[in-house]
Structure 1
């Protein structure tokens, strides 16, 4: 067993959101496409630049979003705004990238296609998708599997920085169960190992309860129905807000606004200590046939990132009195990023 101790007393400044975005882009490259996007080492490559242009919304995006409540999306996308042109060019680039990745795998079977386990290879091997279907699926994974997890990691670092006692307890669990990469860079961490870390699971679920990356989403009623006795005619656009539901004091109690991983701690009977009156009081990934298709992948990725971060760094806010201002866009995250001070940790044998 190794205990990772501070290797320097000087704290280093870091902006979490940018690094998180680059890391998750590299992960989705390996997990979804079986290739390295090299975003951490080279943030200025074309793929990274395209993502930055898509996922850094401004005032115009808010205006277009408001117009979207009044007009069909196909009309909104054709309005003469520069942002629409930027989004279209970025979308075209990513679609071409997906098509070229599919073509490359199909033309090079000797590269080991049958043995690869990335999402694109598995989907191609199934034979259940046309090339354009594959493009649409990979576009979804590129968007949803990158920005949402990066945003979740940003909020995790914020909450752990605000709660050093929780950060320390989580680090103790991580360091006791995971190998030190500085001592054994070839060590393999399996999903079974991650799932056997109860406090990591509690922390991650609580982060996603308090700060679900997708603050709100829309659905359209496909038939006449009712919600809690309220009549909803067919064609009605509904706004579903995980931020509102996950933080409801009616559903979660008077401490709903507090970061409290203990609420997820199993009791001796194996059930959640927080008695959930309904599955629908936790809707970070939504529910039903339109729930997040990548939920399991996203949770596994998120847990690994949080474990890697807390095992490698001690973190505190650059401004101890910092109160985040939320920037709305595809995801909800701190405006102007999250600025922290980190102290790198190194491994030493524990006697």
Structure 2
């Protein structure tokens, strides 16, 4: 069974029609030719943008010259009420300082410390799902719960049942569906002094989430001062000084960072895990292999290296359903790509969604085939056309974290349940904050015999 993907729009539509489609869902707003194009130009009365699929151009922007192609402020406009000046939105010296403080918390050696909380969250997720066994389950809601539990346990050493953690999770569900991945600022370059307009429920949810995160941050700062803070990710980040200035994050700066950790670490993981479970449900031969591999899991970190099938399944899920389907950079100076003049200020769109399914790069690009990673084509594309966590200097600092969390939770759930799709339910991918299903993903989970 070929995994579902969005319908593509006709090649030519009016700007007004395109804007409406884009606002509703950026994936189905794009023409099918982008799955074959090396580069595409979009013209509007306000600016020009270019989608880049050619691997060497993607490498130029992300790896070779990242300072010449900073993140576009137009994308950040829609997320700033929640994320403030987090590392996800900043550029230049501010971003470099933030990464110098954040990166040590996600170094390889620290992943061992997060394994225990991840395992506990996975066991708790299995326990919750036992109560839903046998009936159709909207699995995105369940993976959101599990991923949020992982974030709170690893970041603040509290389970999702904590009162503040529960409140953040509930309010974020409102924010998630009300906030499109891009707002009107992505189309029209508005002056910075002009007020931005957001949906009232979106803005209220962002304000409430930040207030709750501030409570957690202030509580942790007090624990650090008293010498009673647990040695988790929050403590590590809040006590790490910038090696160049010696300064640590202020409370407000830490609120910004926690907001993006929750958004990136919860929302993206929940999206990928839900699609991975759906793909196992529709490909029982791979589900069997994951279950066989997971049978001996006992909770020791050393077992992570054995989850090779689960890791390949998760990698393939990230290829087909990259949680962040598009990234936007801005040209700081005039460029020339594929004999086209790129003006200063032009928007350069890097689309994992199209790059990962590019018909001229991948063998059978729309098929679910975790075995592809052992082939010559798979290895080549993994180097040149696979960017689920971005690449280069701005690669997601939590990429290693996600590649431990995803395969582990996938293995624990598949080991506990036989997973099948709900009859007649074929999810339609759409882009909200991440790639989700328009009407959810409905699966039936039946407990396995021991």
| Both structures adopt the same fold (TM-score exceeding 0.5) | yes
CA change 1:145–1:277 in 2 (3 A) is: closer
- Residues 17-96 of structure 1: matches in 2 within 5 Å? 17-38=140-161, 45-57=166-178, 61=180, 65-66=183-184, 68-72=186-190, 78-79=196-197, 83=199, 85-96=200-211
Question: Is 1:174–2:290 an aligned residue pair?
Answer: no
Q: For 2:139 and 2:164, how far apart are their aligned partners in 1?
A: 14
Shift of 1:278: 7.0
Match in the other structure for 2:223:
108
CA change 1:324–1:111 in 2 (3 A) is: same
Q: For 1:171 and 1:273, how far apart are their aligned partners in 2?
A: 27
- Residues 272-311 of structure 1: matches in 2 within 5 Å? 274-276=378-380, 279-311=383-415
- Note if contact 1:11-1:342 (Cα within 8 Å) is conserved in structure 2: yes
Shift of 1:43: 12
Match in the other structure for 2:319:
209
CA change 1:216–1:73 in 2 (3 A) is: farther
CA change 1:66–1:89 in 2 (3 A) is: closer
Aligned residue pairs total: 313
Shift of 1:74: 5.9
Shift of 1:225: 2.8
- Note if contact 1:67-1:76 (Cα within 8 Å) is conserved in structure 2: no
Q: Which string of whole-angstrom CA distances, capped at 9 and with x for unpartnered residues, describes residues 172-227 of structure 1? A: 1111x312xxxxxxxx331x311222111111111111111111121112233344
Match in the other structure for 1:164:
284
Q: Which residue, out of 369, 372, 376, partners 1:260?
A: 369
Give TM-score scaled by structure 2 length. 0.64
Taking only aligned residues, the RMSD between alpha carbons, in angstroms, comes to 2.8
Q: Which residue, out of 300, 320, 325, partners 2:428?
A: 325
CA change 1:335–1:310 in 2 (3 A) is: same
- Note if contact 2:164-2:212 (Cα within 8 Å) is conserved in structure 1: no
- Residues 88-167 of structure 1: matches in 2 within 5 Å? 88-109=203-224, 110=226, 112-113=228-229, 116-128=230-242, 129-131=248-250, 132-167=252-287
CA change 1:78–1:66 in 2 (3 A) is: closer
Shift of 1:138: 1.1
| Local SS of the residue matching 1:252 | coil
CA change 1:228–1:296 in 2 (3 A) is: farther
- Residues 230-245 of structure 1: matches in 2 within 5 Å? 230-245=340-355
> Which stretch of structure 1 is more off in the superposition, 241-250 or 125-134?
125-134
Q: For 1:237 and 1:275, how far apart are their aligned partners in 2?
A: 30
- Note if contact 1:170-1:310 (Cα within 8 Å) is conserved in structure 2: yes
Shift of 1:275: 3.7
- Note if contact 1:29-1:36 (Cα within 8 Å) is conserved in structure 2: yes
Q: For 2:160 and 2:212, how far apart are their aligned partners in 1?
A: 12
Give TM-score scaled by structure 1 length. 0.81
Q: Which string of whole-angstrom CA distances, capped at 9 and with x for unpartnered residues, describes residues 44-89 of structure 1? A: 942222111111137xx48x7355322349689722x5x2x22222
Q: For 2:442 and 2:315, how far apart are their aligned partners in 1?
A: 23
- Note if contact 1:43-1:49 (Cα within 8 Å) is conserved in structure 2: no
Q: For 1:291 and 1:317, how far apart are their aligned partners in 2?
A: 34
Q: For 1:101 and 1:337, how far apart are their aligned partners in 2?
A: 31
